[in-house]
Structure 1
Amino acid sequence: MTQPVLFLHLQDAELTSQLLRSDVVRRFVIYKSQSDQCWVEQLLRQRCDLAFIEVDNTEAAQYELLQQSNRLAEIDFILISKGIPDLAVDHLMRSGAGYHFRQPLDLAAVLDAVQDFYQQLSSVTVKRKVQSSDLDQFGLLVGSSAAMLRLYKTVRKVAVTEANVLIVGESGTGKELVANTLHLASHRADQSFVAINCGALSSELIDSELFGHVKGSFTGALRDHQGVFAQAEHGTLFLDEVTEMPLEQQVKLLRVLESGEYRPVGSDKVCRANVRVIAATNRDPLQAVADGVLREDLYFRLSQFPVKVPALCEREGDISGLAQHFLAYCNAREQQQKQLSDAALTVIRRHSWPGNVRELKHAVERAFILADRLIEPEHLLLERATPGVAADIPADMPLDELEKAAILAALERNGGNKTDTAEQLGISVKTLYNKLEKYQQQR
């Protein structure tokens, strides 16, 4: 096999020296850009397997990068930047799933990424606007903690296989972002990624949503409908909240996974599915099996490769970095220069974040709206634990009444937003609607 070619465009002489001294980089034929020429033009002329680029924030370089981003996305790349908002980099990262490391660099993590490219050069793609921060990024995932770096490594290794993946993690940890990154780093990246929330489907229509239906197959079927298996043909199907799927449909899903065949509602035609299935749940799947809400045989079929997404509290060092990351995005979008005060950052680091990254993102976005220039703790609108709450709960209150009180209180805190309420309570939106309907009938 021909030795792979590495294209280097680095302005940092010390970093260049460190890379060239490493055993990993020595496994490549090195092609270095000429400082007096546009590196984009040189890269497009030079056949290479991996491009290692230090981003130039000049207007001319940004324009050239925007013009050529679609062609550059065909090359595996590692970007180095100072975290300054850069439309050209954002566009390139939406087009291809490489690494984006922000300074100051963890050289070991950078070399690990290069090593992985050496061992398994693969076409990868990303589709997310980058927000300026000091955090590293892989695909749609952002973070520099040890837990996230381990997740990156797991995702990139399983992405290039055809194994079914079961993603497990608390609400708000970014399970759909992991699923999207798995797709974008896979050989199916140029095909569709179709996501469906199993907990939001009515039991009457779930067969149609999964497998499609033909016109006239039931009341209201006014035209043929493609189910998600057909929509995701040759691509990736993401089944979110799979443990909320009714058991009857779990049997049918298992049959498709085992045989690759399904039949649209009302049709006598058997279709063959060519999709990669990724599922996710915020429950403990083994406990879901024990509780009888997830079939054991379906669990084993879905979890050919389980992936655990760390909770925000397990991502040491990422919390304040993510807050700055989300704030920088707001600043770039609104052309502002708002900052977090030291007191606000202290509150952010100490908060438990039960809603994980989603809760943090929403808190920063709310604070950005409320603050003028400097974001203070009061702008974050964080819930504080209320001492003595347990004492206000009658000792003889029935469990269902306690649950009802908790749900209605959460709904009030969220201003009636049912999606946010369901996420905070760790239940599906469908389950929340069912419980609210039950309370309405009890009046």
Structure 2
Amino acid sequence: MDLMGNVLIIDGDEARRQQLETILSFMGCQWQSGAEEDCLAYLDAPNQVSAVLLGDLASTTEAALLAQFARVPFISCQPGEPSQRNLIGILEPPYSYEQLTRLLHFCQSFNAMHPALQGSEHSQTLLRLLVGKGNAIQSVRLLIEQVASKDANVLILGESGTGKEVVARAIHELSPRAAGPFVPVNCGAIPGELLESELFGHEKGAFTGAITARRGRFELAEGGTLFLDEIGDMPMPMQVKLLRVLQERLFERVGGSRPIKADVRIIAATHRDLEQMIIAQTFREDLYYRLNVFPIETPPLRERADDIPLLLQELLNRHGAEHKAWLRFTQRALESLMQHRWPGNVRELSNLVERLLILFPNRIVDVKDLPSKYRYGEDVWLEEGPVTELAERDALIQVLSEEFEQGEEPLADPFSQVLPEEGVNLKELLSDLEVGLIRQALEMQDGVVARAADMLGMRRTTLVEKMKKYGMAARDM
């Protein structure tokens, strides 16, 4: 289980150090260990340490390390209460696999939230996903620029997959709080009974299983931005508690009584219609107006089809680096993708790009390579061209063979005949043949296009396209 990249143990107690090393080895973690003077060099190396286990250090030394390396998560083996943001928790004896696993997961969350440990390339990729020339996405970018420098609460509305978190991260990256953490919380993915502890933290013994005190997302977001995704899924009791925090900028841990100041910016997002939820009394009206200080609506992808080529390029750059492959789309494939309705929006487009990179690495993708639901219009007919040509050839063989019914032996292959000296207009010949066969199929199937298409060995959409091409209707029988 690869929880952390590299865990550093700073402890002068050799017996305890060996015990922690044994647990980490069992967990599959990489680790370095030693006394304080032996380990400082590891901390000075950027991004080499994912978590630090502190042993028997003096309280002043521990506090100095926490302050000096504020972007590294620490776990202390000394009893007490976490006093700084990067002191994730206390590891209490007897040291166990379960306890250490839980604390390392918290360290992992800290690293994911802290901008110093997020690649700047990742942040730039997020911002670039707001590409587009249409009025809708230009308006979103303008709103982001206008509100980023303020500390006002922002409510991002839009369908699932439209990039609401991308907008939230862009606001954070352009704000004066960019040096602080960006902490996302999916309110719909956390059970209601655990959401309060997740947001506000808890004290030791607050409930069964709370064997140590733990910081909540509000504390982890101190000085930065807290992103409350799917706020419409938050239970009503939690809405009341969140409203109090927004009003007073104070909160308490579960099981605690000490008020903690909340110096965070709140950005919320939802795909739900909150105004309808207020009418249905499933969302508090006062909370809605607290959050909806500055609304931003992300447009669905179907309303910005012209931006799809630019989005594809950004997604290919990102997924191509991950899969070490490239991909190109033909113009017909691009036009077909631009006709799709994209119910899953940008997320659906991203998933499609990754799928195609896996299926067709270092290739050019045409319409026929797209999954069937992404093929549209004339491109479908073109994709079926070779199959249709074979069917036409077989039918023409049959028609020409009928010329020999009056006693002459038919040729094995009429196409082996020598062309007359005056030549033939093959295009007109095949067109006349195709029109005649379509009329016959429609007559035999009482004008039912779907059954006529089955009889001709083609898709219904292909037959409809051919009928349009020749100006035919089902009544032309």
TM-score category (smaller protein): 0.5 to 0.7
Is there any run of 5+ residues in structure 2 with no aligned partner, and where? 1-114, 376-477
User: Are the aligned partners of 1:366 and 1:379 in contact in 2 as well (CA < 8 Å)?
Assistant: no
Counterpart residue number, 1:252: 241
2:283, 2:368 → 1: CA distance? 43
Q: 1:382 to 1:363 in 2, by over 3 A?
A: farther
More helix by share: 2
| Cα displacement string for residues 270-292 of structure 1 (whole angstroms, at most 9, x for unaligned residues) | 11111100000001221222222
| Structure 1 vs Structure 2 CA RMSD | 2.3
Give 1:328 deviation, angstroms: 3.8
The answer to whether residue 155 in structure 2 is matched with residue 155 in structure 1 is: no
TM-score by length of 2: 0.51
Residue pairs, 1:243-322, within 5 angstroms = 243-322=232-311
Residue pairs, 1:336-355, within 5 angstroms = 336-355=325-344
**Counterpart amino acid of residue 204 in structure 1:** E
Residue pairs, 1:173-188, within 5 angstroms = 173-188=162-177
Q: 1:192 to 1:330 in 2, by over 3 A?
A: closer
Counterpart residue number, 1:420: none
User: Are the aligned partners of 1:138 and 1:152 in contact in 2 as well (CA < 8 Å)?
Assistant: no
1:163, 1:148 → 2: CA distance? 21
Give 1:307 deviation, angstroms: 0.6
1:260, 1:129 → 2: CA distance? 28
Residue pairs, 1:80-95, within 5 angstroms = none
**Counterpart amino acid of residue 285 in structure 2:** E
Aligned residue for 1:205, secondary structure, equals helix
1:271, 1:129 → 2: CA distance? 30
Task: State the structure with bigger RCO (CA 8 A, min sep 6), 1 or 2.
Answer: 1
1:154, 1:229 → 2: CA distance? 25
Counterpart residue number, 1:376: 366
2:293, 2:177 → 1: CA distance? 18
Give 1:374 deviation, angstroms: 1.9
Give 1:263 deviation, angstroms: 1.0
The answer to whether residue 221 in structure 2 is matched with residue 232 in structure 1 is: yes
TM-score by length of 1: 0.55
Q: After the TM superposition, which parts of structure 1 deviate over 4 Å for at least 4 consecutive aligned residues?
A: 137-140, 332-335
| Cα displacement string for residues 234-293 of structure 1 (whole angstroms, at most 9, x for unaligned residues) | 110000000100000000000000011111111111111111000000012212222222
Give 1:376 deviation, angstroms: 2.7
Aligned residues: 258
| Cα displacement string for residues 337-358 of structure 1 (whole angstroms, at most 9, x for unaligned residues) | 4311233212201110010001
Counterpart residue number, 1:428: none
2:305, 2:314 → 1: CA distance? 15
Aligned residue for 2:142, secondary structure, equals helix
Counterpart residue number, 2:208: 219
Q: 1:379 to 1:139 in 2, by over 3 A?
A: closer
Counterpart residue number, 2:158: 169
Give 1:139 deviation, angstroms: 6.1
**Counterpart amino acid of residue 374 in structure 1:** I
The answer to whether residue 132 in structure 2 is matched with residue 128 in structure 1 is: no
Q: 1:214 to 1:382 in 2, by over 3 A?
A: farther
2:372, 2:290 → 1: CA distance? 40
Give 1:378 deviation, angstroms: 4.3
Give 1:383 deviation, angstroms: 3.5
User: Are the aligned partners of 2:325 and 2:357 in contact in 1 as well (CA < 8 Å)?
Assistant: no
**Counterpart amino acid of residue 274 in structure 2:** P
Counterpart residue number, 1:191: 180
Counterpart residue number, 1:203: 192
| Cα displacement string for residues 298-326 of structure 1 (whole angstroms, at most 9, x for unaligned residues) | 00000111111111112241012212332
Is there any run of 5+ residues in structure 1 with no aligned partner, and where? 1-93, 96-124, 132-136, 386-443
The answer to whether residue 361 in structure 2 is matched with residue 367 in structure 1 is: no
**Counterpart amino acid of residue 275 in structure 2:** L
User: Are the aligned partners of 2:327 and 2:365 in contact in 1 as well (CA < 8 Å)?
Assistant: yes
2:340, 2:365 → 1: CA distance? 16
User: Are the aligned partners of 1:126 and 1:181 in contact in 2 as well (CA < 8 Å)?
Assistant: no
Structure with max Cα Rg? 2
Counterpart residue number, 2:449: none
Give 1:369 deviation, angstroms: 1.3
1:149, 1:239 → 2: CA distance? 24
User: Are the aligned partners of 1:126 and 1:185 in contact in 2 as well (CA < 8 Å)?
Assistant: no
**Counterpart amino acid of residue 175 in structure 1:** K
1:331, 1:278 → 2: CA distance? 31
Aligned residue for 2:160, secondary structure, equals coil
**How many percent identity over aligned positions?**
45
User: Are the aligned partners of 1:140 and 1:181 in contact in 2 as well (CA < 8 Å)?
Assistant: no
Give 1:361 deviation, angstroms: 0.9
| Cα displacement string for residues 60-115 of structure 1 (whole angstroms, at most 9, x for unaligned residues) | xxxxxxxxxxxxxxxxxxxxxxxxxxxxxxxxxx99xxxxxxxxxxxxxxxxxxxx
Q: 1:333 to 1:290 in 2, by over 3 A?
A: same
Q: 1:191 to 1:291 in 2, by over 3 A?
A: same
Give 1:334 deviation, angstroms: 4.3
Give 1:333 deviation, angstroms: 4.5
Q: 1:334 to 1:247 in 2, by over 3 A?
A: closer
